[in-house]
């Protein structure tokens, strides 16, 4: 079954001035994704922008796929403005997703900004009432809160400016939670900007907590051929699009 396929745009839901959800319906059968995997979306039939945009899969069912998009540049603006009925070209699902939690482990989800798209599919797959730490720069950057609150009461919000939840970053909030709460065999699943993941990796290493981190990197081919998304790990250089985007925390930030 080919990973190249076309889809019809069936919805483009504006969440805010900077975020929207793109809903598409594939025009032919395609492989089913797993939480943490991503797709490369072609944003225009023209040569500019040239590269496809990598987006984590947010939600899916037998007939549709959904992606959370943060307006960042020309490519994401084109995706934001795609009208229902339009056609889009995709490649995916790609990469390695998140593994299941082991027996007796307590999953803790950590998301920063649009990184919520990567961990969101785990909320209903890692037990009931999962723990989620979700942070962003401001309240306007926190998405899908009603949907999240419908499936978990263990939601801990933080914003840099204090406009919602605790003031400060989500890694500090998680560290305070772990200091105050006895959590049996915690294991972390995370995605967010580089600053967040770097701080999180240091904290996990210091506390000896295992985890899985999805890295955000610029990509070109999406299949490991161009070597444009290589990162250094404890086992050597690895391609985020192929061996990742999800890596064991102990492989990173060594």
pLDDT at residue 101, as a whole number: 87
Question: pLDDT tens for residues 192-228?
Answer: 999 999 999 999 999 999 999 999 888 788 888 888 8
Co-location of 207 and 128 in the same domain: yes
Q: What pTM, to 2 d.p., does this model score? A: 0.94
Query: Coil, strand, or helix at residue 250?
Result: helix
Question: pLDDT tens for residues 51-79?
Answer: 788 999 999 999 999 999 999 888 888 88
Co-location of 81 and 128 in the same domain: no
Question: pLDDT tens for residues 95-131?
Answer: 999 998 888 899 999 999 999 999 999 998 887 789 9
Looking at residue 116, which CATH number applies to its domain?
A: 3.40.50.80
Residue 118, domain member (yes or no) = yes
Domain that holds residue 27: 4-94
- % of the chain surpassing 70 pLDDT: 97
pLDDT at residue 45, as a whole number: 74
Co-location of 57 and 155 in the same domain: no
Co-location of 11 and 64 in the same domain: yes
Residue 243, domain member (yes or no) = no
pLDDT at residue 225, as a whole number: 87
- How does residue 47 score in pLDDT terms, banded at 50, 70 and 90? low
Co-location of 58 and 138 in the same domain: no
Residues 145-169: what's their mean pLDDT?
94
Give CA angle at 57 (102, 166), nearest 5°. 70
Residue 125, domain member (yes or no) = yes
Query: Coil, strand, or helix at residue 178?
Result: helix
pLDDT at residue 254, as a whole number: 57
pLDDT at residue 112, as a whole number: 97
- How does residue 50 score in pLDDT terms, banded at 50, 70 and 90? low
Residues 23-44: what's their mean pLDDT?
92
Residue 153, domain member (yes or no) = yes
Give CA angle at 17 (85, 169), nearest 5°. 125
Co-location of 27 and 67 in the same domain: yes
Residue 30 pLDDT greater than 90, yes or no: no
Starting at the edge strand found earlier in the chain, the sheet holding 186-191 runs 166-167, 155-159, 131-136, 106-112, 186-191, 211-214, 246-248
Mean pLDDT score of the chain = 92
Co-location of 171 and 200 in the same domain: yes
Looking at residue 37, which CATH number applies to its domain?
A: 2.40.30.10
Split into its structural domains, the chain has a count of 2
């Amino acid at each position: 079954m080919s990973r190249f396929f076309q889809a019809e745009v069936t919805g483009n839901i504006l969440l805010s001035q900077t975020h929207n959800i793109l809903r598409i319906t594939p025009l032919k059968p395609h492989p089913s994704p797993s939480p943490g995997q991503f797709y490369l979306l072609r944003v225009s039939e023209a040569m500019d922008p040239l590269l496809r945009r990598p987006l984590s899969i947010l939600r899916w069912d037998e007939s549709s796929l959904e992606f959370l998009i943060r307006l960042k540049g020309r490519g994401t603006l084109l995706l934001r403005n795609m009208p229902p009925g339009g056609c889009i070209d995709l490649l995916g699902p790609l990469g390695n997703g998140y593994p299941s939690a082991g027996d007796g482990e307590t999953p803790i989800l950590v998301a920063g900004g649009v990184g919520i798209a990567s961990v969101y599919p785990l909320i209903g797959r890692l037990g009931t009432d999962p723990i989620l730490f979700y942070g962003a720069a401001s309240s306007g950057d926190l998405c899908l809160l009603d949907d999240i609150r419908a499936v978990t009461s263990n939601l801990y919000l933080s914003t840099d400016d204090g406009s919602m939840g605790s003031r400060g970053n989500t890694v500090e909030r998680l560290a305070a939670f772990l200091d105050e709460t006895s959590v049996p065999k915690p294991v972390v699943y995370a995605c967010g900007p580089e600053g967040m993941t770097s701080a999180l990796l240091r904290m996990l290493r210091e506390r000896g907590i295992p985890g899985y981190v999805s890295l955000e990197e610029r990509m070109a081919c999406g299949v490991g051929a161009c070597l444009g998304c290589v990162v250094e790990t404890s086992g050597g250089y690895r391609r985020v699009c192929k061996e990742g985007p999800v890596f064991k925390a102990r492989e990173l930030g060594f």
